[in-house]
Amino acid sequence: MNILFTASECVPFVKTGGLADVVGSLAPVLAKKGHDVRVMMPMYTAIGQEWQEKMQFQLHFDVQLGWRRQYCGIHMLKKDGVIYYFLDNKYYFGRSYIYGLGGDEYERFGFFCRAMLNALPLLEFQPDILHAHDWQSGMIPALMKIQYAHLPFYAGIRSVFTIHNLQYQGIFGIKEVQDVLGLGDGLWSADKLECFGCANFMKAGLVYSDAISTVSPSYAEEITTAYYGERLDGLIRSRRDSLYGVLNGIDVQEYDPETDPMIYANYSREDLGGKAENKRRLQQELGLEVNEDIPLIAMVGRLTNQKGLDLVDCVLSDFMDENVQLAVLGMGDARYTNLFSWAEQQHRGKIAARFAMDHELAHKLYAGADFFLMPSLFEPCGLSQMIAMRYGTVPIVRETGGLRDTVLSYNEFEGNGNGFTFLNYNAHDMLAVIRRALYYFKKEKDVIHTLRVRGMEGDYSWAHSAQEYLAIFSKLVKQE
């Protein structure tokens, strides 16, 4: 099959969250299976010079966006059997940020959606499957069905739209979006593009794609309910027959404690000695008390409400009464950066907080911590808990979305499980389960050892999920 991914980020070029990991690791796996896989993404300034130097200029054309005529250059790079195309327009993507600040996101990603469709015939690449990810690519299935379907080149292309996070929908004024993409007045009803009086890129993807997927089976169920559905649950229920939940994998080569060059010492599940060395050096680097007997809990991720940080806020002082250390790495809301900076001052040597995008430190935390805390309010899939388990770090999570699909609570009667979990979104439930984990750390070390090894034995590769995606793609292609 010819498969085209369109996404607003992709590792190793640019990353703000799990979306980049997914696109960057799934694409090469599908290519290895013999498919012609290509990825299209914006050419941001943030893409490192080392990558920009490897790119080859392919062609350029003008993109009509309402009354605007904008340049689009296409640069190309081949890596691990995948062809990556970077859509270049300095006005839209030559900025110091990737998302958010300019107030013209509809125009930037409207440009991306339009330009990527127009580029295909020029590049002479006709995909069987166009796999669009998240709201930034949401208008692609819609434009294709509404404005391109009569063109023979596009008629056979089937689209799959994947929700990585339903909370971010790309909601804008209808007039603004019409001004850029020229979608006529007749299209703005509730069964088409209109969404509570606004334009909504995510909804466009959900209405017009041939199949919808999201990144875990539990999240696929959850988003059909009002609690998790972010006001799109009715639409998602109506498309239930075309909705799939496919669990993400992680890049098991990048995240491998046996070979990872970023961590202090390598180790394996047969010999966890190196993990203790990682903890010691991490405590040192972060200014925490160096003591192997004090359990170290890590958190790595965006500092937003989604990640359950209000629960942490609520019980932080009770939590710090325990003999425990907390290391936080993340960027996000001021509420939480303030909280953790304050807590670091209050509990010197017990809490360390770093507010940066720091891949190396993230690896060191996954390797050096004893526990990984992720009490998310909702979690489409979550990669961090899988990465943590791969490094023998025991997850403590709330049972939601992908966390529920990957972490099974330790059961002291049957002995099964690979972590610790709680169900209700309640700070004291979380505190109780943290205390339970700490009890085993202090009193029954063999249980923690078993959970570490079990976590490291888990299969987090893309092997199974890639097969599931291919099954969805084949079904669509056969339906032609």
Interacting residue ranges for ligand ADP, rule: CB under 6 A: 17-18, 21, 300-302, 329-331, 357-359, 362, 381-384
Of the candidates 301, 326, 474, which has an alpha carbon nearest to the alpha carbon of residue 381?
301
Rounded CA-CA distance 294/456 in Å is 22
Nearest CA to 452 out of 181, 257, 264 is that of 257
Residue number with CB closer to ligand ADP (194 or 399): 399
Closest distance of CB 338 from ligand ADP, Å: 17
Q: List, in order, residues 6 or more apart from 2 with CB less than 8 Å away.
A: 35, 36, 38, 125, 126, 127, 128, 129
Q: Least separation, in Å, of the C-beta of 404 and ligand ADP? A: 14
The structure tokens listed for 95 are: 């900025």
Task: Give the DSSP H or E segment for 390.
Answer: helix 384-390
Q: 278 — alpha (psi -120 to 50), left (phi > 0) or beta?
A: alpha
Q: How many CA atoms lie within 13 A of 227 on its CB side?
A: 10
Please give the residue whose beta carbon sits closest to ligand ADP in the complex.
18
When the beta carbons of 159 and 248 are compared against ligand ADP, the nearer one is 248
Q: Which is nearer to ligand ADP, 174 or 329 (CB)?
A: 329
**Min separation Cβ 19 and ligand ADP, Å:** 6
Radius of gyration of the chain (CA): 23
At closest approach, how far in Å is the CB of 194 from ligand ADP?
A: 28
Residue 225 backbone dihedrals phi, psi, to 5 degrees? -110, 160
How many CB atoms neighbour CB 277 within 10 A? 17
Closest contact distance (angstroms) between CB of 146 and ligand ADP is 30
* Closer residue to ligand ADP, CB minimum distance, 110 or 382: 382
Residue with smaller CB distance to ligand ADP, 42 or 301: 301
Give least dist CB 22 to ligand ADP, A.
8
When the beta carbons of 359 and 449 are compared against ligand ADP, the nearer one is 359
Q: Which 3 state secondary structure label does DSSP give 386?
A: helix
Closest to ligand ADP by CB, 194 vs 358, is 358
Contact between 110 and 65 under an 8 Å Cβ cutoff? The reply is yes
- Residue 378 CB, shortest distance to ligand ADP, in Å, is 10
